Chains A and B, each alone.
Chain A
Amino acid sequence: RPCFISEVACLCIVCLHVVSFLFALQRSVVYIFWGDEGGGNLTDVSVSARPTADIISTVEFNHSGELLATGDKGGRVVIFQQETENKSQPQCRSEYNVYSTFQSHEPEFDYLKSLEIEEKINKIRWLPQKNAAQFLLSTNDKTIKLWKISERDKRPEGYNLKEEDGRYRDAATITTLRVPVFRPMDLMVEASPRRVFANGHTYHINSISVNSDNETYLSADDLRINLWHLEITDRSFNVVDIKPANMEELTEVITAAEFHPHQCNTFVYSSSKGTIRLCDMRASALCDKHSKLFEEPEDPSNRSFFSEIISSISDVKFSHNGRYMMTRDYLSVKIWDLNMENRPVETYQVHEYLRSKLCSLYENDCIFDKFECCWNGNDSVVMTGSYNNFFRMLDRSQRRDVTLEASRESCKPRQVLKPRRVCAGGKRKKDEISVDSLDFNKKILHTAWHPQENIIAVATTNNLYIFQEKVN
Chain B
Amino acid sequence: MFSKGTKRKFSDGDEEISDESLVGARVASSYNLQRQSLLDMSLIKLQLCHMLVEPNLCRSVLIANTVRQIQEEMTHDGSWHMVTEAFCGPGQSPSERLVATEVLCRSREQDAEPKLFSVISYEGCREEEVVADETLCSVSVSDTVSNVCLAGRVGQCWEKSELSGVERDEEALEDSRLGSGEDEEIDTEDGASTESPKTTGQVFGTFEIKNGSPGPDSALEELFSDVDTSYYDLDTMLTGMQSAPKMGPYDLLDSLAPSHGSPSIVSTPTCRSDLNELDHIMEIIVGS
Question: Which residues of A pack against B, CB within 8 Å?
Answer: 107, 109, 112-116, 118, 141, 202-204, 222-223, 246-253, 255, 272, 302-306, 308-309, 312, 356-359, 362-363, 365, 368
B58 and A107 contact, CB distance less than 8 A: no
B57 and A203 contact, CB distance less than 8 A: yes
Q: How far is the CA of A204 from the CA of B58 in the complex (A)?
A: 10
* Contact among B45, B53, B58, B205 with A247 in the assembled complex (CB-CB below 8 Å): B205
A-binding segment of B62-70, B90-98, B131-139 = B62-70
- Chain A residues touching B, majority SS: loop
Across-interface contacts of B58 in A (CB, < 8 A): 222, 253, 255, 272, 312, 368
Question: Which residues of B pack against A, CB within 8 Å?
Answer: 1-4, 34-35, 38, 41, 45, 52-54, 56-59, 61-62, 64-66, 69-70, 126, 151, 185, 198, 201-202, 204-205, 207-208, 230-235, 238-239, 242, 281, 284-285, 288
Q: How far is the CA of A115 from the CA of B131 in the complex (A)?
A: 20
B241's nearest neighbour on chain A, judged by CB, is A115
A310's nearest neighbour on chain B, judged by CB, is B62
Across-interface contacts of A272 in B (CB, < 8 A): 58, 61-62
Across-interface contacts of A368 in B (CB, < 8 A): 56, 58-59, 62
Across-interface contacts of A358 in B (CB, < 8 A): 1-2
B284 to chain A, nearest CB (A): 6
B120 to chain A, nearest CB (A): 11
* Contact among A222, A306, A359 with B57 in the assembled complex (CB-CB below 8 Å): A222
B53 to chain A, nearest CB (A): 5
Query: Which among B45, B57, B66 has the highest number of chain A CB atoms within 10 Å?
Result: B57
Known: A202-B233, A304-B3, A359-B1. A253 touches B207 (CB 8 A): no
7 contacts between A and B (CB under 8 A): A109-B284, A114-B235, A248-B185, A357-B1, A359-B2, A362-B41, A365-B45
B148 to chain A, nearest CB (A): 16
- Chain B residues touching A, majority SS: helix
8 smallest CB-CB distances across A and B, nearest first, come from: A248-B201, A247-B207, A247-B208, A247-B204, A222-B57, A116-B52, A113-B235, A304-B2
Q: How far is the CA of A312 from the CA of B60 in the complex (A)?
A: 13
B179 to chain A, nearest CB (A): 14
Q: Contacts A246-B201, A356-B1 known; list 9 others, CB within 8 Å.
A: A203-B233, A204-B54, A302-B3, A305-B2, A305-B35, A305-B66, A309-B66, A363-B41, A368-B56
Across-interface contacts of A312 in B (CB, < 8 A): 58, 62
Q: How far is the CA of A115 from the CA of B231 in the complex (A)?
A: 12
Query: Which among B34, B54, B234, B239 has the highest number of chain A CB atoms within 10 Å?
Result: B54
Q: How far is the CA of A252 from the CA of B285 in the complex (A)?
A: 35
A216 to chain B, nearest CB (A): 23
Known: A253-B61, A309-B66, A312-B62. A116 touches B284 (CB 8 A): yes
Across-interface contacts of A107 in B (CB, < 8 A): 288
Q: How far is the CA of A246 from the CA of B189 in the complex (A)?
A: 14
* Contact among B4, B52, B234, B284 with A304 in the assembled complex (CB-CB below 8 Å): B4
Known: A114-B239, A247-B204, A247-B208. A252 touches B52 (CB 8 A): no
A308 and B62 contact, CB distance less than 8 A: yes
Across-interface contacts of B234 in A (CB, < 8 A): 113, 202-203
B231 and A112 contact, CB distance less than 8 A: yes
B35's nearest neighbour on chain A, judged by CB, is A305
B62 and A248 contact, CB distance less than 8 A: no
A389 to chain B, nearest CB (A): 24
A250 and B61 contact, CB distance less than 8 A: yes
Q: How far is the CA of A357 from the CA of B213 in the complex (A)?
A: 47
B288 and A109 contact, CB distance less than 8 A: yes
Q: How far is the CA of A246 from the CA of B54 in the complex (A)?
A: 20
A43 to chain B, nearest CB (A): 25
A222 to chain B, nearest CB (A): 4
Known: A115-B52, A308-B65. A249 touches B238 (CB 8 A): no
Q: How far is the CA of A365 from the CA of B53 in the complex (A)?
A: 17
B69's nearest neighbour on chain A, judged by CB, is A305
Known: A204-B56, A247-B208. A309 touches B284 (CB 8 A): no
* Contact among A116, A249, A304 with B53 in the assembled complex (CB-CB below 8 Å): A116
